[in-house]
Structure 1
Amino acid sequence: MKTKARAIALLFGALAIGYYLWHGFTFDSEYPYEIGWIGWQIALPIIALTVVPVVFAFTGDGILQAFTGLNSSEFQGGLIGLGTVKSFHHTGVTLNDQPQVRIEFSVEGADGKVFHSAARMIVPLTELALLRPGVVLPVRYLPGRTDKVEVDLSGNGAQAQRAMNASMIRKGFTTEATLDIAERGIRAQAVVQSLSVPGEIRDGHSKIELGLIVTRPDGSTFGTRVQKFLPPTAVGNVQVGRIVQVHYLPENEREVVLSLPVNA
């Protein structure tokens, strides 16, 4: 869509300016020669010189997505990857006082390979504080191209979750059985009764062991222990006394799955 819009704008600009020059050089009338340059046709190059830059500006990276709320046509069919924010900075462009930022990502593709890339997007001022190094966002990328990605705007949470699950299995943070409990299990609340850190680190995540008191739907409770790998930023969410969300299967209360936000 971006390419077509720019091509049409350029074609219009060329035709408008070309007609103006042709009319001026070929003007033949009893009126003064200058009339051929200052008639109604003078509006054509003015319009062209206004429209072309506007089209290029509004079809820039991140601008069109901000208007449509969708990824560009080029990336709508792209693969889903997991982009970890490394840094970001303002590009100097704003849209309705909302800044455009360039985000540097470390992207884990669907095949598990990691590459560095970047995306440009308009970020509302109210959400700018949420964009910080370490935040993980679903991104769209094209196979064989690593220089550019787009933050996924499809709203397809299930697809993003599948990408996250596949990544966690590859890294050894979870298993298919654990994911099954998270999907089919009963949602409940638990209180962290104890916390220990054995010292094992995997891909920047620390292994923790939690003692939990889980409250069943009928109000009764049971105790269990859970092991999980967490990034340093999430350890604060499982301190002793904190209430956490868990899932479990009634027929096997020993296996409890802890549920924490991705960017906790």
Structure 2
Amino acid sequence: MKNIARSLAAAFLVLSIGYYLWHGLTYTSYGPFDDGTLAWVGPQMALPLIALTIVPIVFVFTGDGIGEGIMAAFTGNNSSAFRDGLVGIGTIKSFRQTGLTVNDQPQIRIDFSVEGVDGKIFHSHAKMIVPLTELALLQPGVVLPVRYLPDRTDKVEVDRSGDMSAAQRAMNESMIRKGFTTKAKLDIAERGITAQAVVQSLAVPGEIRNGYSKIELGLVVTRPDGTTFTASVDKFLPPASVAQVQVGRIIQVHYLPENEQEVVIALQVNA
């Protein structure tokens, strides 16, 4: 489709300029007051001017990088090349403005460290139009689901599909591979009762795994009927998430009624 659009645009440009030149070279004067200016200046200029406007736009919108970023900004979807790509976990390493703006909104180049579905890590980048009000959300360490192509990992796109289940699966598989959770705990998070708990105690034994610190929490969990029970939870957390589990904080948890001592806490990834 991209090649067809470009070919049609190029053909339109060639034909428009060809017609303009043909008109000028074959023009015949119609009277003594006609000095030949009308051979080149007149309605025949319209087609070349239109072509010179349309062709660059077509090539930009059907191109890689800038074009795909613009198309994504207008459509709210991933480009056709990445729409069915694999979902990976991208961690922002750095970002900068490219100098391009669309409706006064800047295009941003984001450098990622991406964990693919096979657990392998690769470095890549994405370009996207970001509203000024959302620029503050882009910070090193922020985790975003990305779409990537296995045979071209130098470039990715932030996932715009809205399929949160795909992103959650990718995140869950990553956490299992790293030993931060288990399938049993994920089952509790999916099937268990959602409740609130107060952090009663917090200990840091000093164990670190893949940059995550082990945290030992003492919780007081409130059942739906208002009664409470205590539970202990061991969890590996990134440094940015430790503030969410300070003593006295109220957090969301999941548990199964038949096994209240197995409690799973739910924290925001990019809080």
Normalising by the smaller structure, the TM-score range is: over 0.9
The CA distance in 2 between the partners of 1:64 and 1:80, in whole Å, is 20
Secondary structure, counterpart of 1:223 in structure 2: strand
Equivalent residue for 1:78, pick from 85, 96, 115: 85
The CA distance in 2 between the partners of 1:129 and 1:40, in whole Å, is 50
TM-aligned CA distance change 1:4 to 1:190, over 3 Å: farther
Equivalent residue for 1:238, pick from 233, 242, 245: 245
Point out the more displaced range, 49-58 or 86-95.
49-58
Number of matched pairs: 263
The offset of 1:4, in angstroms, is 4.5
Counting aligned pairs with the same residue, the percent is 71
The CA distance in 2 between the partners of 1:57 and 1:209, in whole Å, is 53
Point out the more displaced range, 206-215 or 58-67.
58-67
For structure 1, the 5+ residue unaligned runs are none
The CA distance in 1 between the partners of 2:178 and 2:22, in whole Å, is 66
Per-residue displacement from partner, 1:19-57 (whole Å, max 9, x unpaired)? 2223333x1534455433223221121111122223344
Residue 124 of structure 1 aligns to which amino acid in structure 2? Answer: P
Q: Name the counterpart of 1:222.
A: 229
The offset of 1:217, in angstroms, is 0.4
TM-aligned CA distance change 1:144 to 1:33, over 3 Å: same
Q: Name the counterpart of 2:9.
A: 9
The CA distance in 2 between the partners of 1:80 and 1:172, in whole Å, is 20
TM-aligned CA distance change 1:35 to 1:105, over 3 Å: same
Point out the more displaced range, 31-40 or 227-236.
31-40
> So what's the TM-score if we normalise by structure 2?
0.92
The CA distance in 1 between the partners of 2:122 and 2:47, in whole Å, is 47
The CA distance in 1 between the partners of 2:199 and 2:237, in whole Å, is 15
The offset of 1:64, in angstroms, is 0.6
Q: Name the counterpart of 1:169.
A: 176
Secondary structure, counterpart of 1:261 in structure 2: coil
The offset of 1:8, in angstroms, is 3.2
> So what's the TM-score if we normalise by structure 1?
0.94
The CA distance in 2 between the partners of 1:229 and 1:6, in whole Å, is 51
The CA distance in 2 between the partners of 1:62 and 1:184, in whole Å, is 39
Tell me how large the CA RMSD over aligned residues is. 1.6
Per-residue displacement from partner, 1:43-89 (whole Å, max 9, x unpaired)? 12111112222334445131111101111111111111111101110
The CA distance in 1 between the partners of 2:49 and 2:209, in whole Å, is 61
Q: Name the counterpart of 2:205.
A: 198
Per-residue displacement from partner, 1:85-122 (whole Å, max 9, x unpaired)? 01110111111111110011111111111111111101
The CA distance in 2 between the partners of 1:6 and 1:123, in whole Å, is 27
Equivalent residue for 2:45, pick from 23, 36, 42: 42
For structure 2, the 5+ residue unaligned runs are none
- Say if 2:32 is the partner of 1:29: no
Per-residue displacement from partner, 1:178-224 (whole Å, max 9, x unpaired)? 00000000000000000001111111100100000000000000001
